[in-house]
């Protein structure tokens, strides 16, 4: 199996320009590559600029180089960060005839994922937890976010998968956002059933649980058997996920959320 990831060497910034302290794309990627080696996988890293490791891949957009996101807003308040993603996946699929697990540069492999390497699908996407769909953020950006988070995606070495990536690339260029394009190509109007497989335009799409393979729900407490942690924007401060933060998520977060639920019931 190929573990594919990428990033540039610039400090991670929020959309407002704030630099996230104690976070490093390079360190996350090094950790993922080391875990991949332990599991017997092959790590493939693309260097989007000044990362210092991996295969050079040039992104020329000035805003991305300086800030980590493109200047143009897809919808009001939402800026794209990964327009290069379909192209990088396509390059990797052409190079290796193996299952490719794509991870964003801020996603960290922490466990074996042998179970995703099956022959019953072409594209595997990671579903947002149902609780996320009820958030104000998701309601605001539903057009982009929908049901699938594009931070972790699985691609089987099939003709249908390669054709899908070509279509994903074209639609990403048209829409100006890889995640919006991915959702349009893999989701109907209804929330998919976890682990179900649906054929869409000749492509078998499998829906994996994000709570296991694309976990960024630190503020909701820890799930069992998490395989991939994703330190995306709003939860980037949880990196590095040391024992103190783990205990906070296991003990403090459930207590805080319980108190919030009691207060909410009393108010309502």
Per-residue pLDDT reduced to its tens digit, 2-15: 999 999 988 877 66
pLDDT of 268 reads 65
The pLDDT of residue 227 is 98
Is it the case that residue 106 has pLDDT exceeding 90? yes
**Residue (of 104, 179, 174, 102) closest to 138 by Cα position:** 179
Segment 185-220, tens digit of pLDDT: 999 899 999 999 999 999 999 999 999 999 999 999
For the chain, the average pLDDT equals 93
Domains of the chain listed by start with CATH number: 2-267 (3.90.550.10)
CA angle 108, 248, 219 (to 5 degrees): 65
Q: Is 79 helix (H, G, I), strand (E, B) or coil?
A: strand
Residue 64 has pLDDT above 70, yes or no: yes
Q: Which pTM was predicted?
A: 0.94
CB 234, CB 18: distance < 8 Å:
no
Residue 231: exposed, middle, or buried by beta-carbon count in 10 A (0-12, 13-18, 19+)? buried
pLDDT at 44 over 90: yes
CA angle 166, 189, 4 (to 5 degrees): 35
The alpha carbon of residue 8 and the mean position of all alpha carbons in its chain are separated, in whole angstroms, by: 16
Three-class DSSP category at 121 = coil
């Amino acid at each position: 199996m190929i573990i594919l990831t990428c990033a540039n060497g610039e400090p991670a910034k929020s959309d407002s320009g704030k630099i996230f302290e104690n976070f490093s794309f390079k360190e996350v990627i090094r950790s993922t590559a080391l875990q991949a080696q332990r599991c017997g996988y092959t790590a493939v890293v693309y260097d989007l600029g000044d990362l210092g490791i991996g295969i050079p891949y040039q992104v020329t957009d000035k805003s991305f180089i300086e800030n980590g996101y493109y200047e143009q807003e897809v919808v009001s308040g939402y800026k794209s960060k990964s327009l290069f993603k379909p192209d990088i996946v396509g390059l990797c699929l052409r190079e290796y005839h193996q299952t490719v697990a794509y991870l964003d540069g801020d996603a960290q492999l922490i466990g074996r994922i042998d179970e995703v390497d099956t022959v019953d699908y072409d594209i595997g996407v990671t579903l947002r937890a149902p609780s996320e769909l009820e958030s104000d953020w998701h309601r605001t950006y539903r057009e982009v976010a929908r049901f699938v988070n594009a931070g972790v995606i699985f691609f089987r070495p099939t003709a249908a998968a390669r054709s899908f990536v070509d279509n994903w690339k074209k639609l990403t260029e048209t829409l100006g956002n890889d995640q919006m394009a991915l959702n349009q190509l893999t989701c109907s109007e209804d929330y998919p059933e976890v682990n179900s497989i649906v054929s869409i335009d000749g492509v078998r799409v499998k829906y994996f649980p994000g709570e296991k393979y694309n976990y960024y729900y630190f503020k909701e407490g820890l799930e069992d058997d998490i395989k991939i942690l994703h330190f995306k924007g709003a939860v980037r401060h949880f990196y590095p996920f040391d024992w103190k933060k783990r205990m906070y998520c296991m003990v403090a977060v459930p207590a805080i959320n319980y108190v919030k639920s009691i207060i909410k019931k009393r108010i309502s």
